[in-house]
Each structure stands twice: as structure tokens, then as C-alpha cells.
Amino acid sequence: MSRLALITGSTGAVVDAVAGELRGGGWEVRHVPVGADGMLHLGVDTRGVEAVVHVGLRSPRALDERSRAEAEAGAARAAGRLAREAGVRRFVHLSTVAVYGAPRNLPCREGELKAPRTAAERIRWRAEQASWAEFRRGAPLVVLRPAIPYGPTLRGGPLRALSFVTLFNDRRRRVPIVRRGPVAHVVHLEDVAHSVRHVLEHGDDADVVGRAFNVADDAPLPLGEHLAAALEALGYQPGRFLPTLPRLTRAFLWLVRNVPDRILLDRLNARLGSAWGRLARRAGIAPEILPRVDREAMHWMTADHYYDTSRLASLGWRPRYPISTEAIPATVRALVEAGALPRPSEAGAG
């Protein structure tokens, strides 16, 4: 008889990856969607449920921070309450390493101070805190904090940089990149799903319940190495090296912090979106991977962000994609085949 898991949260690539991983392990999976108000739309039979996995609510960016935080925390709270009432063995909350903000010690461990810097990071921390509150009421919580995810079904994340390159490269084959840049940890989406299944199936409750785990690959690498691997897969060649200019980046970050989004970032991103839409029409691709400047990306470009994953490794978990630069090319090729990025001949011609 198959084991039954409920997945709560917004539909998308993460839900699909987790559901696919669990089904591959013999689980029966049912999805419980969450409304924009954070309420679960519980139209499924919960009898015999062994696990609840909360992947989070994607609240609209147009809402103010307080409303988004209340909705996303409400969704986590509802998932935890469902887990308690159904008497499940495990309640997994899929959070993010962004809750730490800028790591004070490297590699960053799970017990580090949580000091989110931006609205998006604060919202995710509020949601995680709601799940911890449910743990104190009896929910068998396990928190997973993945690093920045990438994968062939995602339309955001670090590979969004390729849309900027395509948009501004003007069909030149050689692209200037940073020599090194800040060191960042990433994780393949399949490994995120793999970590969910691993903690669900781990035999000893004491090892996982009431604990948080960082999830990342084995090799945090400089930004320049990630970018070079992605560019080569898209048909470009890394050109001359650019200075990282951390002072300039911090100055721009100060501007981003102090100027309201509606005046700076919203207008900039609207222009980028329009330009990308025109390029996508010319190239015959879907305009899904929008170039976008956001506060989180600027923060990640000003400092190293990498994490201690030994706690999860002590449970026997190992990433299937341990080195991102070996996996990124396949991800880029899959995005090209899916029509989300131009083919190399279109991107790097000239």
C-alpha cells in the first residue's frame, strides 16, 4: 500500500518536482492549493495521510509587505494545523536560506541569527516562524532551507541572468564577465525535491523533527564560474574580465534601498520586460524568463553566501548534482529546447 502525502502551496515547478520525486518513491500525492488569502482549499480526503509538505504561497508582488506576510504566514499556519489535525508523522516546511540575510559566519549554519534584509526575505521568515509556532502546538515540523534553486522547469533564479545577456549582448559572441565575484551556493531543483523525500523517509523522528536543515550542493562557487558555464551552454564565450566593483554595487544597493520601487525598480523592470517581449517575439520564444532587477539579487552580488550542509549530510543525504557547473549546461540546453531561451545560433551569432 502506498504512503500518502499532501502538498500545500502555490502550484508551479517546485510542487511538480516534489510530487514527482515522491511518486517516484512510491508515495501517493495529493495537492492542496492555497488561496491568495492564505487559506487552504481543502477538497481532498485526508484519511491515512502520513505527511504534509508545505512549499509556500507565492503572494502577488503588487501587495504591500504586511499583506503578503500575513497571507504567506497564514498559509504556513494552516498547513501546520492540517498536519496536527490529520495526525501526520512529518510536516515539512520548505523555506529558504534567505531567512539568514547576510551570513555573519561562513559557512552559515542553521543556528545563525535570522536577519532578513528585504521584504521578500522577511516574508519568508514570517512564514517559517508560523510553522515553528505550529511545532510548539504539536506539529511534527521539519524545516528545509534550500539555497538558490535552478533547474530546467524553473523560470527564475540565477539563470535569469541569461536573459540580461541575451538582451544586451547585441548578438556578439564574446561576453565580458566578472573574473570571480562573490561565492554563492546554489542547488538543483531535483535535489530540493530529493531532500524532501529524504527527511520524510528517515526512520528516526528524533533526528529530524524540530530541526532545520540547509540544502545546497557540495561546491559553492564564485559568480563568474556559474556565469561562464551558463554562457558557454548558450553559445557564448566569456570575453574580457570585468572588475567586480563592490563599492559601486553597494552604492547602487543603497539607492535601491532608499528609493521606492514604484519610482525606480518598477519602472526599470517594466522597460526590461517590454524589451524582452520584443526580443522574444523576434526569436520565436516564450517570454518567460524575464530580466528583472530586484533587491535580493543586489544583496547576493555584494557578499559571499554559502552554507553548512553537514547536518543534512549526517542523515545520509547527498546531492545528485554536487557541482553546479557540471549541471548548469544541461539545464540551459533544456530551457532552449523548451523555447524559454534563444538557441545558441540566435544568441551568439555575429
Residue-level pLDDT at 294: 83
Mean pLDDT of the chain: 89
CB–CB of 231/165 below 8 Å? yes
Q: Which of 197, 215, 233 is the last residue of a domain?
A: 215
Per-residue pLDDT tens over the stretch 101-145: 999 999 999 999 999 999 999 999 999 999 999 999 999 999 999
In a domain, 319, yes or no: no
Query: pLDDT at position 345, please?
Result: 55
Confidence grade of residue 222 (pLDDT, cut at 50, 70, 90): very high
Q: Are residues 209 and 71 in the same domain?
A: yes
Structurally, how many domains does the chain consist of? 2
Q: Residue 29 corresponds to which amino acid? A: V
Give the residue numbers spanning the domain of 57: 3-149+185-215
What letter does residue 307 receive in the DSSP assignment? Answer: B
My answer on whether 276 and 196 are in the same domain is no
Identify the domain boundary among 165, 195, 215.
Answer: 215
Tell whether 88 and 127 lie within a shared domain. yes
Residue 314 resides in a domain: no
pLDDT in tens, 162-183: 888 888 875 677 777 777 888 9
Residues 339 and 279 occupy one common structural domain: yes
Both 93 and 114 in a single domain? Answer: yes
CA dihedral 339, 342, 344, 349 (to 10 degrees): 150
- C-alpha 225/C-alpha 218 separation (Å) is 15
% of residues, the chain, pLDDT over 70? 92
Q: Can you tell me the distance from the alpha carbon of 250 to that of 172, in angstroms, rounded to the nearest whole number?
A: 29
| Mean pLDDT, range 55-60, rounded to an integer | 93
Q: Do 191 and 201 share a domain, yes or no? A: yes
The predicted structure's pLDDT at residue 348: 43
- Residue 309 belongs to a domain: no
Judgement on whether residues 110 and 254 belong to the same structural domain of the protein: no
CB 213 within 8 A of CB 199: yes
pLDDT at 344 over 70: no
> Which pTM was predicted?
0.92
CA angle at 255 for the pair 249 and 157, rounded to the nearest 5°: 60
**Residue 51 φ/ψ, nearest 5 degrees:** -150, 150
Phi-psi region of 85 (alpha: psi -120 to 50; beta: other; left: phi over 0): alpha
- Cα separation, 258 vs 261, in Å, equals 9
Residue 350 predicted with pLDDT over 50: no
- The residue-averaged pLDDT of 226-242 equals 80
Note whether 206 and 244 are same-domain residues. no
More confident residue, 209 or 241: 209
